Amino acid sequence: MVLSDRPELWQQLHAWRELNQRIALVPTMGNLHAGHLSLVRLAQEQADRVIVSIFVNPTQFAPNEDFDNYPRTLEQDLQRLASMDVDAVFAPLAASIYPFGLDHSLRLPAPAQLSNILCGDSRPGHFDGVVTVVSRLFNLIQPNLAVFGEKDYQQLLIVERLCHDMGYPIAIIRGPVIRENDGLAMSSRNQYLDAEQRQRAAALNQCLQWIVTHATSGRLVSDLEQAACQQLRERGLTPEYVSIRIAKDLRPVERLSQTLPPLRVLAAAGLGQTRLIDNLPLVVTD
Ligand code: AMP
| Ligand 1 in reach of 154 Cβ (< 6 A) | no
Q: What is the pLDDT of residues 86-136, one digit of tens each?
A: 999 999 999 999 999 999 999 999 999 999 999 999 999 999 999 999 999
- The DSSP 8-state label assigned to residue 87 in this structure reads S
What residues contact residue 209 under an 8 Å CB cut-off, 6+ apart?
Answer: 183, 280
Report helix, strand or coil for 85.
Answer: coil
- pLDDT value of residue 65: 95
Counting residues of the chain whose pLDDT is more than 70, the rounded percentage is: 100
* Cα–Cα dist 129/108, whole Å: 8
| Ligand 1 in reach of 126 Cβ (< 6 A) | no
Mean local confidence (pLDDT), 270-286: 97
- The DSSP 8-state label assigned to residue 255 in this structure reads B
- pLDDT value of residue 29: 98
- CB atoms closer than 10 angstroms to residue 204: 26
Q: What is the pLDDT of residues 137-192, one digit of tens each?
A: 999 999 999 999 999 999 999 999 999 999 999 999 999 999 999 999 999 999 99
- Residue closest via CA to ligand 1's atom 7 equals 28
CA of 36 to the centre of ligand 1 (A): 5
For the residues of 235-278, what is the DSSP string, one character each?
TT-EEEEEEEEETTT--B-SB--TTSPPEEEEEEEEETTEEEEE
* Cα–Cα dist 135/148, whole Å: 14
For the residues of 113-127, what is the DSSP string, one character each?
HHHSSTHHHHSTTHH
- pLDDT value of residue 228: 98
Note the Cα 6 to chain centre separation in Å: 25
Cβ contact 29:54 at 8 Å:
yes
- pLDDT value of residue 210: 98
- Residue closest via CA to ligand 1's atom 11 equals 149
| Ligand 1 in reach of 42 Cβ (< 6 A) | no
Question: For residue 246, what pLDDT band results from cuts at 50, 70 and 90?
Answer: very high
- pLDDT value of residue 284: 98
Mean local confidence (pLDDT), 9-18: 98
Distances (CA, A) of 245 to 19, 90, 156, 276, 279: 44, 35, 15, 19, 11
Q: What is the pLDDT of residues 194-239, one digit of tens each?
A: 999 999 999 999 999 999 999 999 999 999 999 999 999 999 999 9
| Ligand 1 in reach of 129 Cβ (< 6 A) | no
Question: For residue 272, what pLDDT band results from cuts at 50, 70 and 90?
Answer: very high
* Cα–Cα dist 136/157, whole Å: 18
CA of 27 to the centre of ligand 1 (A): 9
Active-site residue list: 36
* Cα–Cα dist 228/243, whole Å: 10
